Amino acid sequence: MSQKVALITGASSGIGKEAAIELKNKGFTVYAAARRVDKMQDLAERGIHPIALDVTDDESMVHCVNKILKKEHRIDVLVNNAGYGSYGAVEDIPLDEARRQMEVNVFGLARMIQLVVPSMRKNQFGKIVNVSSMGGKIWTKFGGWYHATKFAVEGLSDCLRLELEPFGIDVIVVEPGGIKTDWGIIAAENLKKVSAKGPYAQAAGKAADGMIKNYTGNQLSKPELIARTIAKAATVKRPKTRYLVGFMAKPMVFMKNVFGDRAYDKIIKMFS
């Protein structure tokens, strides 16, 4: 069999970048996709193929997948990693921004799946790894639209798993906890910008400062941990349906499941 081919979205930094390196080290031909190809020259030096991709642009997605298929004739692993967190009070966030959050985190993910599945089905093999979050199982203050996207990814992935299993295609969800990337800083900045005034200003400022402190500290897990988890899911014969990994992921989900919604709300309010 020829070398397996992996396509990773959102690969210019953080989890996506580390996953590209990890899969390359595992022997895959790796395509690292992101809007900014110039930010991936260090990956190119490792033998990874940078490729332009905007998951809000259908033409860009079609071109990306077709270019890989034309050259490699297969895509064995799709890692849907592209995404961001749009934080702010639901009342404050413009619906255009809410739609963009859905477009990037859900619809872009779904469209990439639509584009790669025909070749996977033809080969009777494929692994689709959707990077969700512990935020697809729990919630935090001011994260309404972000959590909505991740809850959607969870449900979409469960249905896909049933649909694609007969064709030899695995659907795997990776649910990171707190990871040391720029994600939290960006989300906090969005929160301050959107809800800096009005009735939520004091609570939003406190929550944003807490996020910045958390994401500039040393407690969070490194993105390499998630990258290794993605590589494991992509290479084992029978992967788990879900991998809940990273700082506070298992304790937070456990508390919500055991103690229920109201008790979980109280815990969240204590730390935000």
Write out pLDDT tens, residues 116-143.
Answer: 999 999 999 999 999 999 999 999 999 9
pTM, entire model = 0.96
The answer to whether residue 214 is domain-embedded is: no
Q: How confident is the model at residue 196 (pLDDT cuts 50, 70, 90)?
A: confident
In the chain, the amino acid numbered 102 is: M
The answer to whether residue 97 is domain-embedded is: yes
Q: Give the whole-number percent of the chain exceeding pLDDT 90.
A: 96
- Rounded Cα–Cα distance for residues 234 and 237 (Å): 8
pLDDT the model gives residue 79: 99
Read off the pLDDT of each residue in 75-96 and give the average, rounded to a whole number.
97
In the predicted model, what is the mean pLDDT of the chain? 96
Q: How many other CB atoms sit within 10 Å of the CB of residue 196?
A: 14
The answer to whether residue 204 is domain-embedded is: no
pLDDT, tens only, 149-163: 999 999 999 999 999
85-124 per-residue burial string, b: 16 or more CB within 10 A, e: under 16: bbbbbeebbeeeebeebbbbbbbbbbbbbebbbebbeebe
Indicate whether 51 pLDDT > 80: yes
pLDDT the model gives residue 270: 83
The answer to whether residue 194 is domain-embedded is: no
- Rounded Cα–Cα distance for residues 272 and 184 (Å): 14
Known catalytic residues are: 146
pLDDT the model gives residue 1: 47
Cβ-based neighbours of 266, under 8 Å, separated by 6 or more: none
The answer to whether residue 203 is domain-embedded is: no
Per the rule left: phi > 0, alpha: psi between -120 and 50, beta: everything else, 178 is beta
Residue with tokens 């990956």: 43
Domain that holds residue 258: 5-180+222-270
Q: How confident is the model at residue 269 (pLDDT cuts 50, 70, 90)?
A: confident
Q: In the beta sheet, which residues pair with residue 127?
A: 77, 170
Tally of domains within the chain: 1
Check which CATH number belongs to the domain holding 170 and give it.
Answer: 3.40.50.720
Sheet holding 77-80, edge to edge: 49-52, 29-34, 5-9, 77-80, 126-131, 169-176, 242-245
pLDDT, tens only, 105-118: 999 999 999 999 99
- Rounded Cα–Cα distance for residues 113 and 57 (Å): 14
- Rounded Cα–Cα distance for residues 38 and 45 (Å): 12
